[in-house]
Structure 1
């Protein structure tokens, strides 16, 4: 997944569980990374239109969830915009410049929430349109949830997982010390803008989508890594980042991306309507301000 991770286990020294932490995370990378030519998603992207590709239970789960979330957010979250992710420089470098503007214009009509079909019974997926699937906005969250389930199977009561900025913890750091999660100040020079504690938020699942770390330059301008599936262009919103707390990190990850695309006003309206715990960081008159949904 091209990122760093941190896993802390409290009062647990089973070497087998510790060794398998990397294996669990790497299993997701091997299936869902577009940077690996041998991954399942690469196989699917290289398959012919209307050709079934057999996939794993984990891949199937993410594909189904992604399609459901696409529909629920009216397309603000859509994993079938990979061609545009690549075009703006956030995909595999060897294909980043392989599309021209005329080709991209033709591909716009191919993208929808139903651009691929899932056959859950037979564990297979096929592309119905000429789309390039990219699960980067949800794979990290799923990987954390998968690792969390693995640690739970060992009856580990307290742990902390961080993968590429997405976070899940369980229990407390110690009986008298809480887990603390800092929501980073986008200025990157001062103290966290908000700190969450396991004394207030039990078994937290948190994801953040922001533009201040992951961006590229195009024709001298900064370009957001978040591509709007509606306009097919990098987002250009007045907010700086959005964080989401949900029942699992996969959901928080996907919703953070969707709300980032929606923007502040529409995103908070959607959050309030759908019981989503969301927090936007915006800059007003030079000051950073927190805007939250009523559920946060």
Structure 2
């Protein structure tokens, strides 16, 4: 039986561990405190296997992924999918309904058109910007049978899980450490993080929030995290310049174009990182008025950073975790 940190003898001091590896075009990290007697190499292998499984199931960049297999399947044909992918699809559809379609997994073709997908399209200086498209909403295009873990497309649709899969990957890292009986940790993939417990002295985990600045990384502030997850969506990390205009990588399913509003970034706190990831995207798409209103209505902890002329302005919406 694996001992949790609270069950360890007083003589068995906790040691700081920092593990990391490659995943989803970036890196995962796991920072935790545990006794020196643990098998760190085995934990590293389990963490890597967990994120590899998520990538293998949900990547649009791997032609043999389960998501790509679903995208390639003909309409009106049931496709059996793994449990993890089923959970992500089911959660994504739920957030889509609750956000009035602002979060939509059915934007895969739109993502490719603007060069953010596996097609890796590039634009010459004088290329015209693509016109608006009308992506099939995932909620209208899919039949989902959670009991039998199968999905059927009712109409042509290309799914993209970039707004939720990374958060699920962070939750998968957390589950690895939970199974090992590790009670105090901070795990993350890029800027999506999830914390449990605290540092040995009782201090909360400190997580930096980025300033939404194009082309460089600056810390805007630090938030203390305990038993919660955090994710940020914004317009400043990935973009494409077409002609004289810059377009962010987040797609607005309502317009069929890249998102264009006053919100530079939204940071969300929720119990799981999958939900934080999806809701950060949804609130970013909804924009200043509707996003703030929905966050307040649903009790979602969210920090909106707005572009205000040449400056930035913050609006904090305290929800159930910050109150």
Structure-2-length-normalised TM-score: 0.83
- Which string of whole-angstrom CA distances, capped at 9 and with x for unpartnered residues, describes residues 58-81 of structure 1? 111111111111111110001011
Contact between 1:86 and 1:96, CA under 8 Å: does it hold in 2? no
For 1:18 and 1:169, the matched residues in 2 are separated by 18
Partner residue in 2 for 1:194: 221
Matching of residues 275-294 of structure 1 within 5 Å:
275-294=299-318
Contact between 2:113 and 2:130, CA under 8 Å: does it hold in 1? no
Alignment gaps of 5+ in structure 2: 1-23, 124-128
- Which string of whole-angstrom CA distances, capped at 9 and with x for unpartnered residues, describes residues 135-163 of structure 1? 11000011111221121011101111120
Alignment gaps of 5+ in structure 1: none
For 1:61 and 1:204, the matched residues in 2 are separated by 19
Structure 2 CA distance for partners of 1:136 and 1:177, relative to 1, 3 Å: same
Match of residue 4, structure 1, among 27, 33, 36: 27
1:260 is aligned to 2:284 = yes
Match of residue 174, structure 1, among 175, 200, 204: 200
For 1:109 and 1:154, the matched residues in 2 are separated by 43
Contact between 2:46 and 2:176, CA under 8 Å: does it hold in 1? no
- Which string of whole-angstrom CA distances, capped at 9 and with x for unpartnered residues, describes residues 252-291 of structure 1? 1000000000001111100111111111112335333210
For 2:217 and 2:62, the matched residues in 1 are separated by 37
Contact between 2:33 and 2:199, CA under 8 Å: does it hold in 1? yes
Q: What secondary structure, in the 3-state scheme, does the structure 1 residue paired with 2:194 have?
A: strand
- Which string of whole-angstrom CA distances, capped at 9 and with x for unpartnered residues, describes residues 210-251 of structure 1? 111111222342111100011111011112100000111101
1:77 is aligned to 2:103 = yes
Partner residue in 2 for 1:129: 155
For 1:118 and 1:284, the matched residues in 2 are separated by 42
Structure-1-length-normalised TM-score: 0.90
Structure with greater strand percent: 2
For 1:214 and 1:95, the matched residues in 2 are separated by 14
| C-alpha deviation, 1:127, in angstroms | 1.2
Partner residue in 1 for 2:47: 21
The alignment of Structure 1 onto Structure 2 pairs a total of residues equal to: 288
Structure 2 CA distance for partners of 1:190 and 1:288, relative to 1, 3 Å: farther
Q: What secondary structure, in the 3-state scheme, does the structure 1 residue paired with 2:305 have?
A: strand
| C-alpha deviation, 1:95, in angstroms | 7.2
1:159 is aligned to 2:182 = no
Partner residue in 2 for 1:87: 113
